[in-house]
Each structure stands twice: as structure tokens, then as C-alpha cells.
């Protein structure tokens, strides 16, 4: 019995130690800033948006550089409203997106698979008519070159069929009348979260970002 209790105790201490190490690493690495490309001009606006947990990158639905509505159809949303001017896109674990309407309904299997990269991923897309800058919505001015890099980064996060079309996920598990889900590339884990995906998009495009972050607070601290 003593041996069993000792093993349980060591296991619990190891688990707690790993959690503390993870949180400490996330905090420290998010404090290290990757600075914006100093030669980039502020030629157009994008936004970052958070719901308090998850970061979306928001871009104009269509402009001379990209028409997202050709890839992400208005008709795949409940409202099918083609007047929306902005499109928010976020990458994440498919199980979280489609099987977890609220935190109270989170299944242990979904959490385990997400934490250890054992499940598939999805892109969540939401159309907006307008955006208001606030603590949870930040405007970022970027150059056309940075914008092009961000388009490539986001496009490559979507799975595409043989004809280059994004693969829509038919589901009733949407959050409102203007959102839809699509199959995504990559694997979600504790080391590659929805927020580290968004941070990676900013970093890849030469925008201010964290060295690494698992949480939205790390990203938004760069744009206070």
C-alpha cells in the first residue's frame, strides 16, 4: 500500500510540475517580443479579435488583393448575408469547436486528444458587418507585402480539395448566423494552440508578435 501511495504521489507531483513549467514557459516566452518589420509601411488595416480565450485574425472580406468570399461562401452560413465587410478566421481543435458548446460540456477525451495532438483541426470563420476597436479588438496597419504573406499563411491553414476549394464542414454546431467551419491542416496541441497559430501568422508576416504564446493575452499585450 505504501508503495502504491508513493507512486501516486510521485505521479501527481510530476503532473503538477509539468503544468507549472508549461505555464511559466508560456508566460516568459510571451514576454519576448518579435518586433515589426521596421521597413513596412502601414498601407491597409487588419484586426485581431479575442473572445477572452481564442484569437481570430480579421481581414476585409474582399478587396483588390483577395476576395475571401470566393473561398468562404456566404451561403455556408445560416444568414447567407453577402453585405458583411469583414471576415474573422481562427484555427483550432475540431473537437473543441464542434463538440464543446460550453466549457461545462467539455469531454475528457476531447481535452486529452487536443492537449496531445491526437485529433484533427478546423478553421472557424465568422463574417462581420463592422468592427469597433476595443480591448478585445485591435487594428493593425500593415503593408501590402505583409498582407500577401498573411493571406498565404491563412490559406495554407485550410485543407483544400483537388480543385483548390476549401472544404466546408456541414454542422449545426455553429455559434451564430454568420459563421461556418472548414477542414484545417496541422495538429492542435499544448504547444501549438489556436493562439500560437494566430501569433504565428503575425510573426510570419513581419508584424509584432510573441516569441511563442499559448494564450491570447500574450498577443494582445503587444498591441495595448
Q: Which three cell numbers stand for residue 156?
A: 495554407
> Could you tell me the pLDDT band of residue 103, with boundaries at 50, 70 and 90?
low
Query: What does pTM read for this prediction?
Result: 0.91
What is the C-alpha separation between 30 and 18, in angstroms, rounded? Answer: 18
Q: Which of 87, 114, 80, 115 shows the shortest CA–CA distance to 99?
A: 114
> Could you tell me the pLDDT band of residue 161, with boundaries at 50, 70 and 90?
very high
Q: How far from the centroid of its chain's Cα atoms is residue 136's Cα?
A: 14
> Could you tell me the pLDDT band of residue 130, with boundaries at 50, 70 and 90?
very high
The predicted structure's pLDDT at residue 6: 66
% of the chain with per-residue pLDDT over 90: 78
pLDDT per residue as tens digits for the range 23-48: 898 899 999 999 999 999 999 999 99
Contact 95, 122 (CB under 8 A): no
> Could you tell me the pLDDT band of residue 112, with boundaries at 50, 70 and 90?
confident
Q: Within 13 A of 208's CA, how many CA atoms are on the CB side?
A: 17
Domain ranges of the chain: 1-31, 33-223
What is the C-alpha separation between 52 and 138, in angstroms, rounded? Answer: 13
> Could you tell me the pLDDT band of residue 114, with boundaries at 50, 70 and 90?
confident
Q: Which three cell numbers stand for residue 155?
A: 490559406
- pLDDT beyond 70 at 4: no
Amino acid at each position: 500500500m505504501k508503495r502504491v501511495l508513493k507512486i501516486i504521489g510521485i505521479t501527481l507531483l510530476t503532473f503538477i510540475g509539468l503544468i507549472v513549467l508549461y505555464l511559466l514557459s508560456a508566460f516568459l516566452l510571451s514576454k519576448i517580443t518579435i518586433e515589426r518589420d521596421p521597413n513596412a509601411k502601414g498601407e491597409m488595416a487588419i484586426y485581431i479579435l479575442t473572445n477572452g480565450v481564442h484569437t481570430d485574425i480579421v481581414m476585409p472580406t474582399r478587396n483588390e488583393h483577395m476576395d475571401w468570399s470566393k473561398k468562404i461562401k456566404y451561403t455556408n452560413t445560416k444568414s447567407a448575408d453577402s453585405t458583411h465587410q469583414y471576415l474573422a478566421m481562427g484555427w483550432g481543435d475540431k473537437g473543441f469547436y464542434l463538440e464543446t458548446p460550453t466549457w461545462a460540456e467539455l469531454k475528457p477525451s476531447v481535452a486529452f486528444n487536443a492537449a496531445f495532438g491526437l485529433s484533427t483541426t478546423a478553421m472557424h470563420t465568422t463574417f462581420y458587418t463592422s468592427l469597433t476597436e476595443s480591448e478585445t479588438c485591435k487594428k493593425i496597419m500593415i503593408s501590402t507585402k505583409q498582407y500577401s504573406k498573411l493571406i498565404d499563411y491563412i490559406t495554407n491553414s485550410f485543407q483544400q480539395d483537388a480543385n483548390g476549394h476549401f472544404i466546408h464542414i456541414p454542422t449545426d454546431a455553429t455559434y451564430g448566423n454568420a459563421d461556418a467551419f472548414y477542414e484545417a491542416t496541422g495538429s492542435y496541441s499544448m504547444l501549438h494552440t489556436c493562439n500560437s497559430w494566430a501569433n504565428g501568422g503575425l510573426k510570419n508576416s513581419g508584424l509584432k508578435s510573441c516569441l511563442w504564446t499559448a494564450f491570447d493575452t500574450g498577443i494582445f499585450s503587444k498591441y495595448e
